[in-house]
Amino acid sequence: MKTTIKISTTILVIAIIIFSCKKKDETPPPAAITTGATTGSTPAGSTFSAVVNGQNWSVYTDQFGPAVYLYNNNPNRAIGAQNANTTPYSVIKLNFLPVVGVFTLSQSGNYSATFTGTSNTIYTSKAGTINITSFDTSGVKSPYLDKIKCTFSFMTDTISSQSYTITNGNVDFIKN
């Protein structure tokens, strides 16, 4: 009888060990959630580009979307973008009132722009224009700005004999 109990106990222990080992989870991971159509890795309607001193410049984009920053300087809004994920990178930032129309960019005030070069020097607009064709500040997707579509161009001030000319600027941004 002792032998039967030992054998039964041994079989029970082996069965517990075999069946209690964690099996590989074969459940597939959930599918990625996407909103809207995409072109490459940039969501459609989310572009920010320009020509800087004759060279094409566009926003850095990764799997999370474009590297765009939104600001609320009530009543003004601002949108900025950077062209790389690591240094050196440059930044274009546009400050504006959320009103449709063509406006003159200056060094300060309601309509201005900056270009931050790869040396982290901030150059401000001394002359230029911004043409805002549409915007949405309803706050549904962002408390600052849900959408802006505009074109822009400007010349910066000169610092240490360096200035920038930004042309063919285009923003078509929709907050996802």
Of the candidates 78, 98, 81, 96, the residue with the CA atom closest to the CA atom of residue 138: 98
Could you give phi then psi for residue 84, rounded to 5 degrees? -155, 160
User: Does 2 reside within a domain?
Assistant: no
User: Does 7 reside within a domain?
Assistant: no
Q: How confident is the model at residue 75 (pLDDT cuts 50, 70, 90)?
A: confident
User: Does 18 reside within a domain?
Assistant: no
User: Does 21 reside within a domain?
Assistant: no
Token readout for 29 is 């991971």
In this structure, the dihedral spanned by the alpha carbons of residues 148, 81, 54 and 47, taken in order and rounded to 10 degrees, is: -40
DSSP-assigned beta bridge partners for residue 132: 101, 150
Q: How confident is the model at residue 24 (pLDDT cuts 50, 70, 90)?
A: very low
As a whole number of Å, the end-to-end CA separation of the chain is: 72
User: Does 48 reside within a domain?
Assistant: yes
User: Does 138 reside within a domain?
Assistant: yes
pLDDT at 44 over 50: no
pLDDT in tens, 117-148: 988 999 999 999 999 999 888 877 777 778 88
Q: Which residues form the domain of 59?
A: 39-174
What CA–CA distance (Å, rounded) separates 156 from 170?
Answer: 17
Q: Which residue has the tokens 């590989």?
A: 24
User: Does 81 reside within a domain?
Assistant: yes
Cis status of the peptide bond prior to 29, with omega within 30 of 0: no
* Domain count across the chain: 1
Asked whether the whole model's pTM tops 0.75, one would answer: no
